[in-house]
Amino acid sequence: MTEKHQDPEQTPPPPRTESPAESFFTDFETAVRKELEGVKPRMEEIRKGLEEECARVGEGLEKSRERLAALFQQSDQEIEPSRLITEIEGQLIWINRKLRAGIDKEIRNLSPRRKPIASILAALSRHCREAAVQLPERPTAPADEGSSASLARQLWNRLLVRVGIPPRLLVEELLPTDPGAHPLVRRHGDLHQEALARFADLWRGIRFHLEVAIDDLKKRAAPPEEAPSEGEEEGETSTPSETADQVLGALSDGREQIRRALEPLFAFYEELPAALEKSHREFVIRLRSELASAGEPRHILTYLWRRLLRSLSDKWQRGQELIEQGKDEVSRTASSGLTQTGHLLRNLQSLVGRPGQTADALLHLTDLPTTSQVLERARDLPSLYRRLFTLGPLKNREFLVAREEEMETLEEIARRWRDGKTCSAALIGPEGSGKTSLINCFVSEFCVGEEVLRLDVARRMRSEQDALELFTRWLEPGEPFASLEGVIEHLLSGPRRILVVEGGHHLALRVIGGYRGARAFFYVLMATRRHILWVVTFRRYPWTRLDYQLGIAQYFTHQVRTLFHTQEELQETILLRHRTSGVPLFYHPREEGGPDEEDQPTRQSRFFKDLFAATSGNIDAALYYWLLCLEYDEGEQTLKICPLGKLDYGFLRALGRDYLFALGEVHSHGGLTPEEYSEIFRKTPLEARLLLDYLAQLNLLQAEGRGEGGLATRYQLNPVFFGPVSTQLESMNILY
């Protein structure tokens, strides 16, 4: 009999003898191996791209430094300051548009939820699901044990098929539902945010140093007969050599900081393949354990309990989301001022005393130095650091913190107005809360190409004639306006433009007939606000009173508040400026030389908690207390800050009624002259000046301007004491 031979190529492969579970793990491991092998080359490619971008930026900064260094050397040979100014401005624009934009884009493309970590983890989950199709979709019982199995065991096996855990579903539930919650993704997110923050500080520092140099050059180029503007310190201008050193030093330091800013991220990418391997191993071990014990009664109960908890957790999370949505709706519709409940709570805090504080050292408000004294003391700080904290109103968004919502509102206002819709905006906040800074950022960012007039209500308006004189001074029509209709016609016949008006609190005086000028102003605003975009600033309490008397909220389609509402917002505003300086900072313990186990983050948190309590979110007051508590160790090149502690407001309650009512009226008007005060309270000018001067000597009021004989022409509340004074006057129902 002839034996038949089969062709080896036509021989079918032997049947797979692995169980479905083993087949699943084999296919899963094969796919994962292939995926993980590509991680290291991918990380090296990302790192190489970042290193090349860092090198490009570093070379660009070095070229900029060399170019400016050559010009500064020529400046010793009588080069025109205007040429230096033009060149520095050009380099600043080039750095922001060419260098900063490129590397910022590269770093932002590594967002944790986009790539690379989240995408790798998503791929591993996908491979697991693809391999899991080999697993049964329904619960499986153990292999048939025949008649040897007890009746109870046979009944359990049948029940297991009905209520047991489907292997494929078990694998699905063990997979992470959100790759973004994986520890590696969270770690990558933290490092990514740190890198973004470091680069933001780097660019902010370069911009600040170059802009300071431009200001110094402009001051030196100004004619000698031009005196410094009010409040400007003559000694703040650097010498030519100091200007050169700060510009060239900032560019050199920037080149060195670029690589250091990405080192933690580079180290993470280098360790990532091993970390992914370890994470995968732990997942496989857990998966094997769960599948092996899927038929045990205890495991089934655990599985059902876990599903119940997950269902409850999902419902709880959804409920929290709905609560947060409700809070957002309330916060958008409610005024950011104090509600009646807020008044009650603050009144109770004032009335119940302060148990537990008697052992603390209380700092009396009357013992605090004046703002000018604090600025004089700040001369011991490094020059650039001093400038960072005496900037005055901000010119751009570099140092603007926690104002994203306000800026979005202003952007929407500008867009709606350009679309031909009726728009007008009121910016509301106490003195020193950042209204002018917000206006500056609005104009520089959203009003490019528009005609913008920056105006100011410099003196109190009492009548319609005062309003006409004000519009004549602002608009310069050639002939004085004879009527409000003439003002309206002039505005409507002219180009569309933006009128930014500061000092809205000067629109009225609380006397008989003192609101006529305000009514005339709002009459013009209402008649022209489709053609003219009006942006008017008001101090907080004058706004409240004007709205109560005239209902002025109806004249503004948008209202923007400027106080900081949380400790974190205030803290970030201060530390953003500090980080720009690059000077190390040390927080002193509560007791000098005494036992204190707190670390620096704890001391920092306590300091800013006290700072927020003392300032009520007012940025001017916060900068004042920051400079007050700072010490500079020139030997160690380190800044040290002492604890702020508690402030004693008790003496406010001891003031006489006349002084408290005077504080209330000054606060509610945004400032008063002695003549205006005497008219409100029917006092003689001498009595009015005596009372207001006394409050100024207590540091509660600030004297503005000097008239004949050096006497103050106007008094306003000291922004440093906005919080305690407002709280005290509200508790006595003098402010409302």
H or E element that contains 424: strand 424-428
Confidence band of 561 (pLDDT split at 50, 70, 90): confident
Hey, is 630 helix, strand or coil? Answer: strand
Residue with the larger pLDDT of the pair 4 and 340: 4
Instruction: Please tell me the least confidently modeled range out of 20-34, 72-86, 269-283.
Output: 72-86
- DSSP β-ladder status, 701-706 and 452-456: unpaired
* Residue range 265-307, pLDDT digits in tens: 888 888 888 888 888 888 888 878 777 766 555 565 566 666 6
User: Which two structure tokens, joined as six digits, stand for 246?
Assistant: 């700060």
- How confident is the model at residue 610, as a pLDDT? 87
Percent of the chain exceeding pLDDT 70 equals 77
173 pLDDT above the threshold of 50: yes
Could you tell me the CA-to-CA distances from 470 to 284, 506, 525 in Å, in that order?
Answer: 78, 12, 13
pTM (whole model) above 0.85: no
- How confident is the model at residue 356, as a pLDDT? 36
- How confident is the model at residue 492, as a pLDDT? 94
Confidence band of 331 (pLDDT split at 50, 70, 90): very low
- How confident is the model at residue 713, as a pLDDT? 83
- How confident is the model at residue 159, as a pLDDT? 47
User: Which two structure tokens, joined as six digits, stand for 166?
Assistant: 């489907």
120 pLDDT above the threshold of 70: yes
Residue with the larger pLDDT of the pair 523 and 569: 523
Confidence band of 391 (pLDDT split at 50, 70, 90): low
- How confident is the model at residue 596, as a pLDDT? 54
Percent of the chain exceeding pLDDT 90 equals 15
Instruction: Please tell me the least confidently modeled range out of 185-189, 291-295, 544-548.
Output: 291-295
The average pLDDT across 614-633 equals 85
Spatial separation of the C-alpha atoms in residues 332 and 328, rounded to whole Å: 6
Phi, psi (rounded to 5 degrees) for 711: -80, 145
- How confident is the model at residue 408, as a pLDDT? 86
Instruction: Please tell me the least confidently modeled range out of 368-382, 437-451, 488-502, 514-528.
Output: 368-382
* Residue range 230-253, pLDDT digits in tens: 334 444 566 777 778 878 888 888
Could you tell me the CA-to-CA distances from 269 to 110, 552, 663, 689, 729 in Å, in that order?
Answer: 11, 58, 60, 69, 58
Q: What residues are paired with 716 via a beta bridge?
A: 702
212 pLDDT above the threshold of 90: no
The average pLDDT across 615-636 equals 85
Instruction: Please tell me the least confidently modeled range out of 175-184, 300-309, 632-641.
Output: 300-309
- How confident is the model at residue 465, as a pLDDT? 93
- How confident is the model at residue 154, as a pLDDT? 52
Q: Mean pLDDT over all residues of the chain?
A: 78
DSSP string, 54-91: HHHHHHHHHHHHHHHHHHHHHHTTT--HHHHHHHHHHH
Let me know how many helices (H) and strands (E) the chain has, helices first. 27, 12
